Amino acid sequence: VQLQASGGGLVQAGGSLRLSCTASGSIADIGYMGWYRQVPVKPRELVARIYGGGSTTYADSVKGRFTISRDNAKNTVYLETQNLKPEDTALYYCNANISPWGTGYMDYWGQGTLVTVSS
């Protein structure tokens, strides 16, 4: 099982980016999917998560600016970011709770995608 993230880049403050992350491999089921971010010398923090039934949770710092969604047919999770601020600059990681065929659920991580917001 692999997670492939894309969509990061350099954007001016106030701009937008759309991050995508697709799970591939021998997958029986996917539970929650989400995005974390990390900056140097700080722990990785949860940005947003979406559960299998569609409920969502967001970090307070991104509420009203970021929207998480998923396409179950494509095993893909999206993060629409709007009104980006310099403090949103970070390496963004996708995360998913996946049950490969024949095993139980485990957390998987994608490679980071860098979001840089200039002031």
- Over residues 6-24, the pLDDT tens digits come to 999 999 999 999 999 999 9
Q: How far apart are CA 86 and CA 29, in angstroms?
A: 36
Whether residue 48 has pLDDT greater than 90: yes
Residue 75 makes CB contacts below 8 A (sequence gap 6+) with 22, 23, 24, 27, 30
CB 27 within 8 A of CB 99: yes
Q: What is the pLDDT of residue 2?
A: 97
Three-class DSSP category at 73:
helix
**E strand intervals along 25-101:** 27-38, 45-50, 56-58, 66-71, 76-81, 90-100
Mean pLDDT across the chain: 97
Question: In the predicted model, is pLDDT for residue 99 greater than 90?
Answer: yes
- Of all residues in the chain, what percent carry a pLDDT higher than 90? 97
Check if the beta carbon of residue 27 is closer than 8 Å to that of residue 100.
yes
pLDDT score of 102 more than 90: no
